[in-house]
Structure 1
Amino acid sequence: MKHQTEIQQYWPAAQDFDPLPADYSNWSAQKKQAFLWDERILQSTYDQNPPIPRINIVGLILTPLMIKMDRLEDEAPSRWRKAIHPHGAVAKIKFVPAGDSPYTGLFKGADYGLLRASLTGDPADRGFAPGLAIKLLADGQPSGNFSALVSLSGQGQNYNFLAHRFSNIVPVAQEFGPRFTNLIFRRVTKYPTRIDLQHLGSTTQQGQVEAQPHTPTQVFLVPNPDLQFAESPHDFRADLAHIPPGTQLFSIYATDAVDPDGETMTAGDQPQAQLIGHLETTSEFVASFYGDSQLFFRHQRFRNQ
């Protein structure tokens, strides 16, 4: 276990978990979600939230990023370390599709998912930079995963986690820190600021493979305007902990438009995107050791490079 003595400050009963059951991949989406939530996340809930450390650049350089791109499992390999987004909170979610959405697979609806909300690193160091990781589970098939950011640079000293929309594609930043991070990720992907969504459209929640999959290129996650938090410095995890189950977190807009140069749309182009559904919580948000260290979200390379 990672720094067990340190973890015991926040989770006194700190212990190693056994690997996922051998037949886990064959389970239904509902059973997978129940296991990850009840037997992993709730069993490792922190008594108090660990402080968020600075971005670990050396750790990021040493991270085997191919695993992040290629691993299909819902749990990280042993000794996995998060050099960025080290601490956050997880909630159970469902994706409720709009009636006229043209997209296939999990975009048709997903009743069983997990969402992790986190910061890139200590906001006192490089500003408040929120991120989302989303996992939609399927019967007997690998989950569909994607991540979304506000931007690579974050939102300065605004500590309201839901102040801005998120997207799976963000513009390349000009600041040194984000540009250096991009160079690290370019070892394994040509497009480090873009997450592909094709796998989410290829298989339904029931595990059925789509004969003619149709997947958006870009999605925008627009926060519920009724959810507003303070902008002054504070722990965002405390805000999320007060969101009740059954809350609409985000409206999801999508597009498959591509410009003549082959570049996808940017966040400013959301008016051209279509509302395809909503993400709703089906539990409270929980900060946990498992959610921070072992729950795994794949980053699919853009356009299957």
Structure 2
Amino acid sequence: MLTKTVLTYSALLGAVSAAYLRGFLQISYDSQTAKEKFDYLFDQISSDNSPGSWPPTVGWPPASALPYIFIESMKPTVSEVTDVMPDGRYKLIHSVGGAAGVKLELEENPYTGLFQQAEYGLIRFASAKEPKEGADVGALDGGFTPGMGIKFLRDNQPSANIVFLHKLTAQDSWNFFKNTQSNHLSVGGLGTAENLLKKKIETSGSNWVNMVGLSDMARYAEDGSEVSDEDIKFPFQLLLIPTDEMASKFPDEYEKPLIEQLRTIGSGTTLYELHAKEDYDAAPVLIGRLTTTSTIESSVFADSKLFLKHQIMEEDFALRPEWTERCASNDDCPICPVDARC
């Protein structure tokens, strides 16, 4: 009994020590400059250009298999502060794609923090689920659902992260850049699988599962300086509108795998115009452009290890409570321009 107690205590002590070590290492990592962290992550991304893999229907451990997506909690996705996937978690959606460096080329705008300068960004492009590709398959039938995650690094502070989608359901073109993407999504017109996924996202604890917040982007500047609650300013919604060149760069019909298309995009390419809606009813205003700072390549690290925290919308509403007067619930708040009610 004593031996068992000692072993249990030792295991507990080891777990606590490991947690403290992870915390210390995270603080040490966060204290670096934006460029140092960008260089480290980009080196990891570039070290192996093998793609990751789509989750199997059955796998071991079970958490690595696709059906687990409907069981696992989303809480770590909204609470973990790290650039690397927490131990024991797997990318069960957006599992395989391409990665690159990006920056925001910003115009004069009223927002704070990274909305004034964001030079050190990383982006992942991926379909939400594995598409059924082929010359005789349309993108809609193939389930092609483009989405992006963008991480901006800052001096002495954790990164800011935003995720974008056109919608939770597939689009009708194989051109990844055909449609506008946003950090807010419509929750209407979902099928069975999408509604199950929506239920899974509700395990994050947020009542606004179709939205991710932007206040963290505005809280700290790229140099790490903090903006107070009194001075912080951030938009209600962002829209990434493809440039005319990108919207027509690839055909609507299937031509080749996504990564082969992405590899043709050079460094210095403007992918999207960045438009911001100051509040729910405001018209979108151009505030900048999203431009690549490297070529786009597959990466086993980006596909399996790069972590993108999702900020819950409640954090934005806490700073802008007047927004909830217009958007008391998802049903009262159609997300434009993709919602049919717009």
- Normalized against structure 2, the TM-score is what? 0.75
Secondary structure class of the residue paired with 1:37: helix
Indicate if the aligned counterparts of 1:146 and 1:297 stay in contact, CA closer than 8 A: yes
Partner of 2:86: 77
The equivalences for 1:205-284 within 5 A come to: 205-211=222-228, 212-227=231-246, 228-233=249-254, 234-258=256-280, 272-284=283-295
The equivalences for 1:100-249 within 5 A come to: 101-124=109-132, 127-156=143-172, 158-174=173-189, 175-188=191-204, 189-211=206-228, 212-227=231-246, 228-233=249-254, 234-249=256-271
Which stretches in structure 2 are left out of the alignment for 5+ residues?
1-21, 58-64, 133-140, 319-342
- Counterpart of 1:229, as a letter, is F
Indicate if the aligned counterparts of 2:52 and 2:95 stay in contact, CA closer than 8 A: no
> Shift of residue 51 of structure 1?
6.3
- Counterpart of 1:296, as a letter, is F
Indicate if the aligned counterparts of 2:111 and 2:234 stay in contact, CA closer than 8 A: yes
1:27 and 2:32 matched: yes
Partner of 1:92: 101
In 2, the alpha carbon distance for the partners of 1:120 and 1:106 equals 27
> Shift of residue 241 of structure 1?
0.9
Question: 1:258 and 1:54, CA in 2 relative to 1: closer, same or farther beyond 3 A?
Answer: farther
> Shift of residue 176 of structure 1?
1.7
- Runs of 4+ in structure 1 off by over 6 angstroms are none
Equivalenced residue count is: 271
> Shift of residue 186 of structure 1?
1.1
Output the aligned Cα RMSD.
Answer: 2.1
In 2, the alpha carbon distance for the partners of 1:246 and 1:21 equals 37
1:42 and 2:59 matched: no
Partner of 1:269: none
Indicate if the aligned counterparts of 1:75 and 1:296 stay in contact, CA closer than 8 A: yes
In 2, the alpha carbon distance for the partners of 1:123 and 1:117 equals 14
In 2, the alpha carbon distance for the partners of 1:107 and 1:154 equals 30
Q: Which structure has the highest helix share of the two? A: 2
Question: 1:115 and 1:236, CA in 2 relative to 1: closer, same or farther beyond 3 A?
Answer: same
Indicate if the aligned counterparts of 1:20 and 1:75 stay in contact, CA closer than 8 A: no
| Further displaced range: 89-98 or 75-84 | 75-84
CA offset digits 1:99-157 (Å, max 9, x no partner): 2x11110010111010111111122276110001011110010111010101111203x
1:301 and 2:320 matched: no
Secondary structure class of the residue paired with 2:125: strand
Question: 1:127 and 1:20, CA in 2 relative to 1: closer, same or farther beyond 3 A?
Answer: farther
The equivalences for 1:49-68 within 5 A come to: 49=51, 52=54, 57-68=66-77
